Amino acid sequence: MSFTDTPIDATSAERLRENHLRLDLVDTSDTDAFTAWYQADARGFYGPRTAQKQLDEQLSRTAYRRTTGVWDETAADPLTPVATVSSWPTPMMLPGGRDIQSWAISSVTVAPTHRRRGIARALLEAELRTAKSLGVPVAALTVSEATIYSRYGFGPAAQAVDLEINTRRARWVGPQASGRLHFVTLEQLRDSGRAVFERARLANPGDIELDDQLWERLVGVIGDSDEEAKHLRAVRYDDANGVMHGFAIYRVTGGEQDFTQHTAEVRYLCAATAEASAGLWRYLLELDLVSTVSTSLRSIDDPILWQVSDVRAVRTKHRSDHLWVRILDVAAALEGRGYSASGRFVLDIDDPLGFASERALVSIDEDGHATVSDAARADAGDLPGLVLPIDMLGALYLGGVSARTLVRAGRIRELSPGSADAVDASFRSPTAPWLSTWF
């Protein structure tokens, strides 16, 4: 049975049925039903009604996903769902250069006419039970609100920053790239850039593999209005041997009052090597008649801050949580990632929803591989350990925050003094976790 054929969660369906609502899967081969679901999804994020061209693109590329809705048969428009969610399994990178199968959850909306009726809870718990039943060890999502998802066991696992760079002050002091830049069309980039994205993703704990819809939306060949897409420009970076290692997609705006004061808005910059990153950033910072470069969803330790002569030329406009992770299978999740140091410690995990409450003994060998066993049945002795809720395990999972910080914040508790430091020595990621896109 495929993940799309797995029956709808009976517990959530019954809970909603008591409120005269129907939870069900959308038949994505039924164009009318799938279209109604998409329009409800757009409405939930305050977007316009999706135009037919964009709708056709979306329907054809996301039909494979598990698409779920909630219907109110008493509504004036009973065919359009009052809540939506979409999900699919996809690899997510972990520290140590490994990936794990994750349950990507997207398009979570509830119509404002149906708030406070338990719909969001039913949807999200149904997704978690479905993922658990399919043996997927972690769930992940990106969020528009940061106050909702911890109650379902998700923790903020990776942050991102939006940057604004004053190019008048940002003289390049980084390395001199030896390769070459080429203008390419968005269609050329769609065909040639995906392998580069995948190579770059392997270095970023938290980045997921993109399906066709996410990839083509990222490079701008679907999803945008024709008016917006026609302003996008793309360059690729080739090394000295002509091998492609990176690309950037951007548009130039402004300049109406002063033609020397344009802004280059970087839609996406992907680099599989440090040299490609340097070559692309220098190109953008040295564009003629551009006084500002802006970019969003960058890693919190993007090296660009250290590649310009004046660090104050790089201003952080916004820093926030971006990727939230929910552990469903503690052993599979912890054994799936790599670790920076050997060690043995106990994690006493509380999961109010019951998916992952356990007292786990984590044993990490010299190669950074973990084995997880039941601490209650093992000789844990006086090993260091932490007592923590499941959402804080999700926050720790990719190395995006230290256990020491969470102890100081009062979010987790040490079983003995120094336990947080012992856990941090192993959990530390040499690369800050970063999800470079939305999903």
DSSP 29-92: T-HHHHHHHHHHHHHHTTPPPPPHHHHHHHHHHHTTSEEEEEE-TTSSSTTS-SEEEEEEEEEE
Domain ranges (residues) in the chain: 10-142, 161-320, 330-427
Answer for the pair 422, 384: CB distance below 8 angstroms, yes or no.
yes
Given a cut of 80, whether residue 373 has pLDDT beyond it is: yes
Per the annotation, the verdict on 149 as an active-site residue is: yes
CA 249 to mean position of chain CA atoms: 19
237, 250, 427, 439: the active-site residue:
439
Confidence of residue 289 (pLDDT cuts 50, 70, 90): very high
CATH H-level superfamily of 10-142? Gcn5-related N-acetyltransferase (GNAT) (3.40.630.30)
Token output for 315: 């201003």
Average pLDDT on 38-56 reads 93
pLDDT in tens, 136-184: 999 999 998 888 999 999 999 999 999 999 999 999 999 999 999 999 9
pLDDT at site 347:
98
Q: What is the CA radius of gyration of the chain?
A: 23
Dihedral sign of CA atoms 120, 121, 122, 123 in order: positive
Answer for the pair 190, 221: CB distance below 8 angstroms, yes or no.
yes
What mean pLDDT, rounded, does the chain reach? 96
Given a cut of 80, whether residue 1 has pLDDT beyond it is: no
Q: Rounded distance, CA 396 to CA 176, Å?
A: 36
Given a cut of 80, whether residue 63 has pLDDT beyond it is: yes
| Fold annotation for 330-427 | Nonspecific Lipid-transfer Protein; Chain A (3.30.1050)
Closest CA to 330 of 354, 300, 365: 354
Give the pairing type, strands 155-166 and 180-184: unpaired
CA 246 to mean position of chain CA atoms: 20
Given a cut of 80, whether residue 371 has pLDDT beyond it is: yes
Please report the beta strands in 137-276, taking only residues with DSSP state E, as ranges in sequence order. 138-142, 155-166, 180-184, 233-238, 244-254, 262-271
pLDDT at site 107:
97
Per the annotation, the verdict on 439 as an active-site residue is: yes
Residue 86: is it exposed, middle or buried by C-beta count within 10 angstroms (0-12/13-18/19+)?
buried
- State pTM to two decimals: 0.96
Domain 161-320: CATH architecture, name and number where available: 3-Layer(aba) Sandwich (3.40)
User: Any idea what DSSP says for residue 377?
Assistant: G
Given a cut of 90, whether residue 100 has pLDDT beyond it is: yes
149, 152, 237, 397: the active-site residue:
149
Average pLDDT on 108-125 reads 97
Q: At residue 195, what are phi and psi to the nearest 5 degrees?
A: -65, -35
pLDDT at site 250:
98
Given a cut of 80, whether residue 230 has pLDDT beyond it is: yes
Least confident of 48-57, 251-260, 296-305, 390-399: 48-57
Average pLDDT on 106-130 reads 97
pLDDT in tens, 347-363: 999 999 999 999 999 99
pLDDT at site 381:
78
pLDDT at site 226:
72
pLDDT at site 376:
82
Given a cut of 80, whether residue 105 has pLDDT beyond it is: yes
Average pLDDT on 192-217 reads 97
pLDDT at site 380:
74
Given a cut of 80, whether residue 311 has pLDDT beyond it is: yes
pLDDT cut 90: percent of the chain above it: 94
pLDDT at site 40:
98
User: Any idea what DSSP says for residue 376?
Assistant: G
pLDDT at site 61:
96
Given a cut of 90, whether residue 227 has pLDDT beyond it is: no
Confidence of residue 109 (pLDDT cuts 50, 70, 90): very high
Task: Answer yes or no: same fold for 10-142 and 161-320.
Answer: yes
Confidence of residue 288 (pLDDT cuts 50, 70, 90): very high
Q: Rounded distance, CA 398 to CA 348, Å?
A: 18
pLDDT at site 85:
98
